[in-house]
Amino acid sequence: MVVIVPSNKAVQAFEGLHLYHGDISNCSMRVRMTLIEKGLPWTSHHLDLKKKENISEAYFGINPNGLVPALVDDGVVHIESNDIIDYLDDAYPEPSLRGENADGMLEWLRLAASIHVPAVKPYVYATRIAKKVKKTAEEEKKYAELQKNNELKSFHSKHAGTGQFSAQDLARSEAILAECFTKLDQALENNAWIMGDRFTLADISWVPLHFVLVGCGYPFEKFPNVSRWAAAFQTRKSFQEGILKWCPDFSKV
């Protein structure tokens, strides 16, 4: 659980669940889906990443990394999407989204979290997003002033100005994604859901990655079980309202 003491004190007065999130953000999709699966009422604070609405002193005062999502629950700020969904399921236990093998399920959440910066983010930026979120010189200056996280500074410096991700960055991402989706495909071989026949946070953690990567042209035909599993989400309310309502088609972002 990653709890932040915000320098933006305004959020400490919030009552109930408030979510700072982005329509196109796979990490935000996880949290929206969890809130919907659990039937929890929440207040939306939408930030448009393409307009760089996350790059403001007010928002860095809530999430010091300037990233979405951030959940505020009765004035307490939580960041890191996989930790947030685990927190929500723990704090609001009914209906439970963890099943019997909670440790096995949390391993899938940790795996999703661990590949975000080395694989998902570079793949998505290199194939689709970098040109859509290009910062002006003024925005670069503001970002440099606000961002203290060196890993994020280094990541964003790769597509700043005329820069772009290298073929090596892309190859590294592809290798990590191939390894993970091979593992996911195996887990789904005789199962409807990642942890077996029960829908859990593991499914919620991974389906936004599938959705966004499909929009980036990732070759999922190599992973038939993953494709079947993803298709089963289409009619699910949390997928419709947590993903499609906000981002109908990632390839059009």
Ligand X SMILES: N[C@@H](CCC(=O)N[C@@H](CS)C(=O)NCC(=O)O)C(=O)O
Interface with ligand X by CB under 6 A: which residues? 22, 25-27, 49, 54, 66-69, 80-82, 113, 116
Question: Smallest distance from the beta carbon of 68 to ligand X, in angstroms?
Answer: 4
CA 35 to centroid of chain Cα atoms:
14
Q: 25 vs 238, which CB is nearer to ligand X?
A: 25
Question: Smallest distance from the beta carbon of 66 to ligand X, in angstroms?
Answer: 6
The full 3-state SS of 4-34, as one line of letters, equals: ECCCCHHHHHCCCEEEEECCCCHHHHHHHHH
> What CA–CA distances, in Å, run from 67 to 22, 61, 156, 163?
9, 11, 12, 21
Q: For helices 201-215 and 81-91, what crossing angle results, to 10°? A: 150
Q: 140 vs 225, which CB is nearer to ligand X?
A: 140
Q: 198 vs 213, which CB is nearer to ligand X?
A: 213
Q: How many CB atoms lie within 10 A of CB 37?
A: 23
Question: Smallest distance from the beta carbon of 197 to ligand X, in angstroms?
Answer: 27
Element spanning 79, H or E: strand 76-79
Q: 198 vs 239, which CB is nearer to ligand X?
A: 239
Q: 68 vs 187, which CB is nearer to ligand X?
A: 68
Q: 54 vs 173, which CB is nearer to ligand X?
A: 54
Q: What are phi and psi of 44, to 5 degrees?
A: -90, 135
Instruction: Determine contact, residues 98/201, Cβ cutoff 8 Å.
Output: yes
Residue with tokens 């942890």: 195
Question: Smallest distance from the beta carbon of 115 to ligand X, in angstroms?
Answer: 10
Instruction: Determine contact, residues 19/69, Cβ cutoff 8 Å.
Output: yes
Instruction: Determine contact, residues 116/69, Cβ cutoff 8 Å.
Output: no
Question: Smallest distance from the beta carbon of 116 to ligand X, in angstroms?
Answer: 5
Question: Smallest distance from the beta carbon of 49 to ligand X, in angstroms?
Answer: 5
Q: How many CB atoms lie within 10 A of CB 161?
A: 10
Question: Smallest distance from the beta carbon of 54 to ligand X, in angstroms?
Answer: 6
Q: What are phi and psi of 126, to 5 degrees?
A: -65, -35
First to last CA, the chain: 31
Q: 15 vs 145, which CB is nearer to ligand X?
A: 145
